[in-house]
Every structure is written in structure tokens, then in C-alpha cells.
Amino acid sequence: MPQQRRHDMGTGGACFCPKCAYRAEHQRGVPCQDERCPQCGAKLIREGSHHDALLQQKRQG
């Protein structure tokens, strides 16, 4: 059975820290979640991703 890829967001965009709002440009071939925030150490999230949507839902209550 083939694996489904969830990482088809293209090369552009940004990564952001869900804790301190640090932002960085997304680097091609490097998942945002593999990067750490240089300010607080949290994992970064890709802007517009599934995890970004979940975070927004959580913050809305």
C-alpha cells in the first residue's frame, strides 16, 4: 500500500513558532517541524499547514 504524503505545500511560505511568534522563511526540503525556534526552542510550524489549522482551532476555543 503506498504511503500518503501530507507535505505537498510547495517551496514557498514561512515557518513560525507557536509560542513566541518567531517567523522564518521555509527552506526547501527541510520540514518546519524539524527546525527549532532560536528564541525559545519550540518546534516550528508551517504556515497554512494541518498543524497550523489545529493550533488556530485550539486558540479559538
Residue 20 within a domain = yes
The answer to whether 55 and 43 are in contact (CB under 8 A) is no
Residue 7 within a domain = no
The answer to whether 32 and 45 are in contact (CB under 8 A) is yes
- Condensed to tens digits (0 to 9), the pLDDT of residues 6-51 reads 556 666 789 999 999 899 999 999 999 999 999 999 999 999 999 9
Residue 54 within a domain = yes
The answer to whether 24 and 35 are in contact (CB under 8 A) is yes
Residue 25 within a domain = yes
pTM of the model: 0.78
Give the burial class of 58: count Cβ atoms within 10 A of its Cβ; 0-12 exposed, 13-18 middle, 19 or more buried: exposed
Residue 3 within a domain = no
Residue 52 within a domain = yes
Say what the pLDDT of residue 7 is: 56
Question: Structurally, how many domains does the chain consist of?
Answer: 1
Residue 2 within a domain = no
Supply the range of the domain harboring residue 28: 14-60
Q: What is residue 34's DSSP assignment? A: G
